[in-house]
Amino acid sequence: MNALYRFAREMSLRQVRFTDDQRRRAFGRPLDFVFYRGLNVNEASVLVTRASDHNPLLVEFSPGKPEQ
């Protein structure tokens, strides 16, 4: 897990935060993530389903400020 966060930091990626975080977990940690750069997050939600072993993550982005 630390390697994932280290990679995201080195690539200047930001993690999407889910207000009602219903992501599936293993050993207390989320299984799925969405990372982004150069965009704005408009909405982020998790669909709860029993049809899969992962809950779908829905994120709506809009263009962000161009990176320098």
Find out whether 42 and 65 touch, Cβ atoms under 8 Å.
no
Q: Of 67, 27, 49, whose CA–CA distance to 58 is shortest? A: 49
Q: Average pLDDT for residues 4-8, to the nearest whole number?
A: 98
d(CA 67, CA 9) in angstroms, rounded, equals: 16
pTM of the predicted structure, to 2 decimals: 0.88
Q: Write out 27-62 in H/E/C secondary structure.
A: CCEECCCCEECCEEEEEEEECCCCCCCCCCEEEEEE
CB count within 10 Å of CB 55 equals 21
Q: What is the pLDDT of residues 7-53, one digit of tens each?
A: 999 999 999 999 999 999 999 999 999 999 999 999 999 999 999 99
Question: What confidence score (pLDDT) does residue 68 get?
Answer: 63
Instruction: Give the mean pLDDT of 56-63.
Output: 98
Does the pLDDT at position 66 exceed 80?
Answer: no
